[in-house]
Chain A
Amino acid sequence: MIEFINVEKVYPNGTKALENINLKIDQGEFVAVIGLSGAGKSTLIRCINRMHDITDGQLFVDETNVSNLKGKQIRRFRRRIGMIFQSFNLVTRTTVLKNVLVSFVPDNPLWRKITGLYTQEQKRKALEALDKVGILDKAYVRVDQLSGGQQQRVALARTLAQNPDIILADEPIASLDPVTSKLVMDDFKRINQELNISVIMNIHHVEVALEYADRIIGIRKGEVVFDGESAKVTDEILQEIYSGNIEELKAALEESHAHV
């Protein structure tokens, strides 16, 4: 369970990214965070695994007070949280399998870290993770030879190999075409349901968010303006979330209509 209590985040340059955030996300939920660019969606997600520090309030993940963690504790804590990025963030010069295997590195002894060798068991687990996202046949292909959708699935497999409780996804389909987006979103949904992993996702495609997520959190100027089931999201609510920028809302809607 993830719990935000009066969380506030001010960047060193004075920008207020998050203000008065109070949220409770249960294990196994599929949450989509929507809002305009710059509303604080990425900041919200990155606070959960301490990629960003919060400046006020408290943030608990399964009774762990995230702000109190230090050095090694942060890294141990991050082991349980997977992260997916818009630009995949893979090492493109090496093979798919090696990209997945890195998720075992923090637990390896020093000599393995230096030599970059992995155990047979770890290789088996990595291959299984690739199988779960359906790209087992690409295991020994170099990442730069894969399409965007395939690369995002490699990233997903890398996260799965970590065996996380929570997956944070920062615009996972923003650089993918509609068809591939659907495949990747299906993967997310399946992982969420079969493995009971919580998924918290930033997403610009409102229609896709409504279709896949159980719960929608709307963010505007660093504050939560909507929090509820996807089914309860109406046009008025969307207008409120995206207020002031009707054009952008329309564009977002049209874009996501194009997806279906």
Chain B
Amino acid sequence: MYDKIFPPKKIELSNGRVVLEKRSRTPLILLIVMIAVYYSAQVTGFSFEVLFKRISEFFIIIKEMLKPNWGYIDGIWPELMSTLKMSLFGSVAGALIALPAALLASANIIKNRVIVAVCKTVLSLLRTMPTLVTALIATYVFDLPATAGTVAIFLFTISYVGKLMYEAIENVDMGAFEAMESIGMTRIEAFRYAIIPQILPGYLSTSLFCFEGNVRYAAILGYVGAGGIGKLINETIGWRDYSSLGMIVLMLVITVYTIETISEHFRKKLI
């Protein structure tokens, strides 16, 4: 199509042979991108003027946050702990359920195509749902903020670990599995003894990584009323109490950093 509108350039070699050089598509793509950017700016109401005028406000907030309200620690502590509990429990439970879910979604282990298709669809549906939305729905269902957060994290962990695991299972070397079947094991038993040892390090590593991410997620879940430290963030911003907010952010950074360091240490050992 493009080549018809802009015919290829003909290059004639010294021996009389002709080479056709297709016209570059880059100018067209650039044009499309520029038009898209222009319309995006129009729709979002972006203006450089506002950006320059209001940027000073940002530094005022940052300045306030840099003077953390140390006395606020007592208020933060229980919420921080509940954030951690939510993400830990949600992650562990989710990772446990993810394994059988991944098994059922693996086309090389489960021969029934319907089961495989249903499990894969459920896993991808769970994944498309943003955790924040899941948490919001869960707050209406369970009424208890911490439970709602846990459920949201639980579901996200299933989808995330489940997806990565069924891919790992489908790529696994089936030789050992065949040998186990020839010994007289059922497919599930063969899975337990031939596939699990192969995917176990990857599974633990993925689960730890997911837990790391979940701690960060859990911090904002409070925004939609699903418990944890997000509730405090919402409150302090509402009161424009930026020094307390600075304290929360500081605590959060320390916690997340600690957990990430520990988890990274163990993940390195696993692989």
Instruction: Give the contacting residue for B185; candidates A75, A89, A91, A98; CB below 8 A.
Output: A75
Sort A-B residue pairs by CB-CB distance and give the 10 closest, nearest first. A89-B175, A83-B182, A78-B184, A89-B179, A79-B184, A75-B184, A91-B176, A106-B184, A91-B197, A102-B193
Q: Does A60 contact B (CB under 8 A)?
A: no
Distance between B165 CB and nearest chain A CB, rounded to angstroms: 16
Q: Which residues of B contact A91 (CB under 8 A)?
A: 176, 193-194, 197-198
- In the complex with contacts A93-B197, A105-B189, A113-B189, A79-B175 CB distance below 8 A: no
Q: Which residues of A contact B179 (CB under 8 A)?
A: 83, 85, 89-90, 155, 158
Q: Does A49 contact B (CB under 8 A)?
A: yes
Q: Does A31 contact B (CB under 8 A)?
A: no
Main secondary structure of the interface of B (DSSP, over half): helix
Q: Which residues of B contact A113 (CB under 8 A)?
A: 189, 192
Q: Which residues of B contact A116 (CB under 8 A)?
A: 192-193
Is B183's CB under 8 angstroms from A78's CB?
yes
Q: Give Cα A13 to B189, complex, Å.
A: 30
Q: Does A152 contact B (CB under 8 A)?
A: no
Is A81's CB under 8 angstroms from B182's CB?
yes
Residue of A nearest to B175 (CB): A89
Query: Could you mark each residue 180-209 of chain B with 1 if its beta carbon is under 8 Å from any beta carbon of chain A, else 0?
Result: 111111100100111001101100000000
Q: Give Cα A83 to B177, complex, Å.
A: 12
Q: Does A257 contact B (CB under 8 A)?
A: no
- In the complex with contacts A88-B175, A94-B197, A106-B183 CB distance below 8 A: yes
Q: Does B143 contact A (CB under 8 A)?
A: no
Q: Does A103 contact B (CB under 8 A)?
A: yes
Main secondary structure of the interface of A (DSSP, over half): mixed
Residue of B nearest to A51 (CB): B182
Distance between A183 CB and nearest chain B CB, rounded to angstroms: 21
Q: Which residues of A contact B3 (CB under 8 A)?
A: none
Q: Does B235 contact A (CB under 8 A)?
A: no
Residues on B lying within 8 angstroms of A by beta carbon are 175-176, 178-186, 189, 192-194, 197-198, 200-201
Using a CB-CB cutoff of 8 Å, which residues 58-93 of chain A contact chain B?
75-79, 81-83, 85, 87-93
Instruction: Provide 28 A-B residue pairs closer than 8 Å at the C-beta atoms, listed in order of the A residue.
Output: A51-B182, A78-B182, A79-B184, A81-B182, A82-B182, A83-B182, A83-B183, A85-B178, A89-B178, A91-B176, A91-B194, A91-B197, A92-B176, A92-B198, A93-B198, A93-B200, A98-B197, A102-B180, A102-B194, A103-B183, A105-B180, A106-B183, A106-B185, A106-B189, A113-B192, A116-B193, A158-B183, A168-B182
Instruction: Give the contacting residue for B186; candidates A75, A79, A89; CB below 8 A.
Output: A75
Residue of A nearest to B186 (CB): A75
Distance between B208 CB and nearest chain A CB, rounded to angstroms: 18
Is A102's CB under 8 angstroms from B175's CB?
no
Q: Give Cα A106 to B197, complex, Å.
A: 17
Q: Does A162 contact B (CB under 8 A)?
A: yes
Q: Give Cα A88 to B182, complex, Å.
A: 13
Is B193's CB under 8 angstroms from A76's CB?
no
Q: Which residues of A contact B198 (CB under 8 A)?
A: 91-93
Query: Could you mark each residue 99-115 of chain A with 1 if its beta carbon is under 8 Å from any beta carbon of chain B, else 0?
Result: 00011011000000110
Query: Could you mark each residue 116-138 of chain A with 1 if its beta carbon is under 8 Å from any beta carbon of chain B, else 0?
Result: 10000000000000000000000
Q: Give Cα A102 to B194, complex, Å.
A: 9
Q: Which residues of B contact A75 (CB under 8 A)?
A: 184-186
Using a CB-CB cutoff of 8 Å, which residues 152-195 of chain A contact chain B?
155, 158, 162, 168
Residue of B nearest to A88 (CB): B175
Q: Which residues of B contact A106 (CB under 8 A)?
A: 183-186, 189
Distance between B122 CB and nearest chain A CB, rounded to angstroms: 25
Is B176's CB under 8 angstroms from A105's CB?
no
Q: Which residues of B contact A98 (CB under 8 A)?
A: 197
Is B183's CB under 8 angstroms from A51's CB?
no
- In the complex with contacts A87-B175, A91-B197, A91-B198, A105-B185 CB distance below 8 A: yes
